[in-house]
Amino acid sequence: MTAAGDGPWLDDAAGRLVRPFTVSNGRTRPTVALDLVSQVMATGATPLGYLGPEHAQALERCRVPVAVAEVAAHLRLPVAVTKVLLADLVDCGALTTKPPAFHHNPTDRALLEAVLDGLRRQL
């Protein structure tokens, strides 16, 4: 039985019915450099050619700026697969991407403190 809103790709008992690597046609490397906190956003351009349902779901999720990790969580796909899908959308002009604000200083103290505070609130 399919879980509500998940479409034909998930099953309550069996889990994912389609292996993640089939979603990306076996590709494991994106053509665009993306990390977990890279921001992606739809450009409004209509992608040409065939896009799978996961591409369409990702594009819908990117109507506002969103992090790659959030898209992966929403799609319930591994980040590596999600990066390939998002790179496809960037390549066809449907998405734009930008590195996170702390791109040049990944050990920014304020960022690390914010992560630590968030983790403490979860405990």
Angle, nearest 10°, between helix axes 79-91 and 53-61? 80
- pLDDT of amino acid 39: 92
Sorted by where each begins, the domain ranges of the chain are: 22-101
Q: Does residue 3 carry a pLDDT above 70? A: no
Among 58-67, 96-105, 108-117, whose mean pLDDT is lowest?
A: 96-105
Q: Does residue 106 carry a pLDDT above 70? A: no
pLDDT per position as a tens digit, 111-123: 788 888 888 887 7
pLDDT per position as a tens digit, 7-61: 445 545 544 445 555 565 656 677 888 888 889 999 999 887 778 888 899 999 9
- pLDDT of amino acid 122: 78
pTM of the model: 0.64
